[in-house]
Amino acid sequence: MKRLLAVFALAVAPVLCLSQDIRVRVEAVHLLERGNAVTTPLKLPDLERVDSFRVYGPDQAVKEGTFSRVVIQKTGRRDETTFGDYHVVDVSVDRGGARVQTQVQAPAEVMTLLRVTPIYHVSFNDEDVIRAITNRELNGQPARCIEFDTVAGQKSHDNEICVDAATGAIVLEKLNEERIEYRDFFPFAGALVPGRIDYSSSAASSMEIQQSMTVLTDPTPNVLAAPPNARTYSRGCKVFRRAFGQSMPQPKPGNGGNESDVVVRGMIYPDGRIHDAVVQSSERPELNAEALDIIHQWMFTPAMCDAQPAISEASFTLRFQGR
């Protein structure tokens, strides 16, 4: 299973692959391709998108946030995000832009919001093992549900993707630790867009998202103006060379039989160190502090933008074996 831009790492034994019914797999691929197609706009107009979201933490605390995006096609885009103490306004025009923000790194909840909205598109790869396609009812509507196995290293997950039986739209994605439900669809630019998204994960906070998209008919003249006190930047490089790891120690293994991952996101600075590190997801929150301590020991050659050292963002997985 892979996202259209981001890949789920899978390793499936050949005996599992041979156990598939090819007719079931063909139907599963068709259902998912149709689900991706009917939820992908044909041609986006000038638009305004607004997401209001509520995050439910493990201590039952509730935090609210908003994300808005204004797009003027072939001209530029303005994004604004507010979540707790985090606030960022990002305006991009052509190959440049301007940004003002309260901190360098976006909270993990904001990164999850941006990843699962407006909808999270995935596709099967050759190693996914389709077990069955069943008929179910979700939110009072008939659905077709694809059940499949995901095996990564020593871990195995029972995953599921459901599409609406009538429209074909994706209504449920159960992928590893995550569960994403889409409902209240509305038509926009030749596609069906979910108006509500419910997200939960065993490794992160749960979230409720209300999403709207409207055609922008009369944008204000200064919608793409640089915010006051903004930092300007150049978007993109003619020649880019990514950062390469030099020293990336993993946690010391224990004697148990469990294996747990902590995913950390951070910025690789020209000094080769990871700065502004935050935990993106964690299967064992009690290991988060140790993971951050270890990640600050990692060293890289910096990314290069047009032969000049540059800051780059990346996610890093720390695997705790036997802990």
What are the tens digits of pLDDT across the range 201-231? 987 789 999 999 999 988 787 888 888 888 7
In which residue ranges of the chain is CATH 2.50.20 found?
Answer: 1-235
d(CA 96, CA 55): 32
At residue 14, the 3 state secondary structure works out as helix
Q: Can you spell out the DSSP letters for 261-305?
A: EEEEEEEE-TTS-EEEEEEEEES-GGGHHHHHHHHTT-EEEPEEE
Q: What is the pLDDT of residues 114-123, one digit of tens each?
A: 999 999 999 8
Residues 316, 304: Cα–Cα separation, whole Å: 19
Task: Tell me yes or no: is domain 1-235 CATH 2.60.120.
Answer: no
Residue 62 contacts residue 53 (beta carbons within 8 Å): no
Q: If phi over 0 gives left and psi between -120 and 50 gives alpha, with beta otherwise, what is residue 119?
A: beta
Q: And the tokens for 253?
A: 């293994």
Delimiting residues of CATH 3.30.2420.10 domain(s) in the chain: 240-321
Higher pLDDT, 142 or 240: 142
**pLDDT tens for each residue of 24-72:** 999 999 999 999 999 999 999 999 999 999 999 877 789 999 999 999 9
Tell me what pLDDT residue 259 has: 82
Mean pLDDT, rounded, of the chain: 87
Domain 240-321 fold is TolA/TonB C-terminal domain (3.30.2420)
* Predicted TM-score (pTM) of this structure: 0.77
